[in-house]
Amino acid sequence: MDSDEDFMSNLSSDEDLIQDDSDNVMEDLSGAEDFDDFDDFDEEDDSDEDIGLQKDIMSKKKYSNEISFTVHRPEDIQKQQDDMINEVNMILELRKEDAAILLRHFRWDNQRLLETYMEDPNRVLEAAGLGANVVGPPKLEAIPGFVCDICCEDKYGLQSFAIKCGHRYCVDCYRHYLTQKIKEEGEAARIQCPADGCPRIIDARSLDLLVTSDLRDRYRELLNRTYVEDRDQLKWCPAPDCINAVHCGVKKKDLSRIVPIVECTCKHRFCFGCILADHQPTPCELVKLWLKKCADDSETANWISAHTKECPKCNSTIEKNGGCNHMTCRKCRHEFCWMCMGLWSEHGTSWYNCNRYEEKSGTEARDAQAKSRKSLERYLHYYNRYANHEQSARLDKDIFQKTQKKMVNLQSASGMSWIEVQYLNAASQCLQTCRQTLKWTYAFAFYLARNNRTEIFEDNQKDLEMAVEALSEMFEKPVTELAHSKLKVDILDKTAYCNKRRIILLDDTAEGLANGLWEFQVEIGNNGQTSRQ
């Protein structure tokens, strides 16, 4: 290792190593496609040297939870648009800016555009906001006797502008109109002629002629944004300050059978279906249900019914905060027994001691109570575990910083080299990813119906959780102990084990989802593969 470059590429290869193995497979795929190949190949050459063996084994098999996708940088997005525009420009012999407007009108479906255009070019041009008449390049003109309809200016030599439709306004008014549209309304792809009701769209070249350069940049940015938004297979990476878009072929209707997790080159992992952070193995629909359940106060209502009782006569909600079982409702003065909810008068002489069994008056009230308490307990069981892992995930940043410090300390304490302490970084990353997965396994399990598959799922979940906790414990050991080579080997083993268990769990759940094998307590998807209990 003799140059900085080598040093850096080793850094990236190590990052590869610490992510779960699925990434390697995905990068193979993305590398094979057109974009980002330069970076990817760089990384892969190096990682092959380091972990070639492991990688070979891993990339042989494609797991069910993996999907293929590509990350596009802004240049790529621009290039794609330019390519399509050039193609249409060549085939239809239209001006490039007109081809762009047509493509936007057809939401970048060039096949449909060509077919429809061939059938009836004039109708297509009209619908897209382009007239059939051809004019020269856009230019400013000073026409004698011209009066601007907006500002009523008529001075000699006034520069004016009009697009194909011929609605002519002075340069200042036109510029003001475009600034308003771009800056305030965020419009770009469909800016119409300022004249009332005129459907003609202003093209990019005319715009360039009229506005200042900062507005032009904003215009291009907005055009790129509409391009990505218009295409169903493209989505922006939601990470803060990330400017990439991800391309993925998963369709909306498949979301109940697949959890399309993609990873941007900025390292952010997110779901292509709902843009939320990685929520494998839970499908988007259940994620939505779960988050809603956690957020709204339906559980407050459940708590009330589990911890309070209603007066059998006036239905006021009562929480017993101590004392004997002889209740007197403060509102209606009804007297009843807290234990059996029956009339207190029926208790006769056995005051302060309800030993009567199953009187009619109390049975029903108690049944409803028990049911709602059970449902609350079930929810809390899953929620507590979910929240616990979420809490740990929130400490991610903290853990990461601590790891960096630990690695420095370890280097000075044990004399290990930088590369020799990287296993700690790997362990920390592994912990984070696994906790993220574990968190969502609880939301998933909450909606599962009880059957054998669920048992297997819970076993997988238990295995992963125990491994993660064990790794977490080792990871927190003081630096003096970490210096022992035995612990290092243990941590390396555990890290690999955790990653493997995680893949197994995700593979199994994804396979079940794809084949509709899971039985949920709620209905998801349109194909009615699930049943309600």
Partner 1 sequence: MAQSTAHRRLLQEYKSLTNNPPDGITAGPVSEDDLLHWEALIEGPEETPFEGGIFPAELKFPKDYPLSPPTMKFTGWIFHPNVYKNGSVCISILHPPGEDPNHYEHASERWSPIQSVEKILISVMSMLAEPNDESPANIDAAKMWRERRDEYNDMVRQGVLKMLGL
Q: What is the DSSP letter of 281?
A: T
* Alpha-carbon gap, residue 176 to 180, rounded angstroms: 6
297 lines the binding site for partner 1 (CB under 8 A): no
> Which residue, 150 or 413, has its beta carbon nearer to partner 1?
150
75 lines the binding site for partner 1 (CB under 8 A): no
CA dist 25 → 31, 44, 129, 260 (Å):
10, 11, 45, 15
State the nearest-atom distance from the C-beta of 4 to partner 1, in Å. Answer: 50
From 121-129, 178-186, 248-256, 430-438, span contacting partner 1 (CB under 8 A): 178-186
176 lines the binding site for partner 1 (CB under 8 A): yes
> Which residue, 185 or 297, has its beta carbon nearer to partner 1?
185
* Alpha-carbon gap, residue 69 to 26, rounded angstroms: 7
Can you tell me which of 31, 129, 138, 194 binds partner 1, judged by CB under 8 A?
194
> Which residue, 149 or 377, has its beta carbon nearer to partner 1?
149
State the nearest-atom distance from the C-beta of 182 to partner 1, in Å. Answer: 11
127 lines the binding site for partner 1 (CB under 8 A): no
Nearest Cα neighbor of 510 from 437, 433, 402 is: 437
Q: What are 261's strand-pairing partners? A: 271
149 lines the binding site for partner 1 (CB under 8 A): yes
From 77-85, 115-123, 191-199, 204-212, span contacting partner 1 (CB under 8 A): 191-199
Can you tell me which of 152, 157, 252, 352 binds partner 1, judged by CB under 8 A?
152
> Which residue, 186 or 478, has its beta carbon nearer to partner 1?
186
Cis peptide bond upstream of 238, omega within 30: no
> Which residue, 197 or 415, has its beta carbon nearer to partner 1?
197
Can you tell me which of 114, 150, 449, 487 binds partner 1, judged by CB under 8 A?
150
Can you tell me which of 135, 140, 143, 151 binds partner 1, judged by CB under 8 A?
151
State the nearest-atom distance from the C-beta of 191 to partner 1, in Å. Answer: 10
Residue-by-residue DSSP string for 460-476? HHHHHHHHHHHHHHHHT
Q: Is 324 a catalytic residue?
A: yes
CA dist 12 → 7, 172, 399 (Å):
9, 53, 20
CB-neighbour burial class of residue 457 (10 A; exposed 0-12, middle 13-18, buried 19+): buried
Find the radius of gyration of the CA atoms of the chain.
33
Q: Which structure tokens are listed for 263?
A: 């990873």
196 lines the binding site for partner 1 (CB under 8 A): yes
Q: How many CB atoms lie within 10 A of CB 287?
A: 19
Handedness of CA 289, 442, 267, 509 (dihedral sign): negative
Can you tell me which of 91, 195, 243, 496 binds partner 1, judged by CB under 8 A?
195
185 lines the binding site for partner 1 (CB under 8 A): yes
State the nearest-atom distance from the C-beta of 174 to partner 1, in Å. Answer: 10
Nearest Cα neighbor of 207 from 365, 301, 356, 97 is: 97
State the nearest-atom distance from the C-beta of 172 to partner 1, in Å. Answer: 9
From 74-82, 176-184, 440-448, 480-488, span contacting partner 1 (CB under 8 A): 176-184
Report yes or no: 305 and 372 within 8 Å, Cβ to Cβ: yes
Q: What are 277's strand-pairing partners? A: 270
Q: What is the DSSP letter of 201?
A: B
Q: Where are the beta strands (DSSP E) in 452-514?
A: none
Q: Which structure tokens are listed for 270?
A: 């997110």
**According to CB under 8 A, which residues from 153 to 172 bind partner 1?**
153
Q: Which structure tokens are listed for 174?
A: 């036109």
Handedness of CA 34, 35, 38, 40 (dihedral sign): negative
Q: Which structure tokens are listed for 450?
A: 């009880």
Nearest Cα neighbor of 481 from 422, 413, 527, 416 is: 413
# residues contacting partner 1 (CB under 8 A): 15
State the nearest-atom distance from the C-beta of 151 to partner 1, in Å. Answer: 4
From 98-106, 179-187, 401-409, 416-424, span contacting partner 1 (CB under 8 A): 179-187
> Which residue, 176 or 288, has its beta carbon nearer to partner 1?
176
From 6-14, 30-38, 183-191, 421-429, span contacting partner 1 (CB under 8 A): 183-191
State the nearest-atom distance from the C-beta of 173 to partner 1, in Å. Answer: 6
Of 284, 324, 434, 498, catalytic: 324
> Which residue, 180 or 401, has its beta carbon nearer to partner 1?
180
> Which residue, 153 or 396, has its beta carbon nearer to partner 1?
153
Nearest Cα neighbor of 24 from 277, 263, 276, 258 is: 263
Amino acid at 113: L
The residues annotated as belonging to the active site are 324
Interacting residues toward partner 1 by CB under 8 A: 149-153, 173, 176-177, 180, 184-185, 187, 194-196
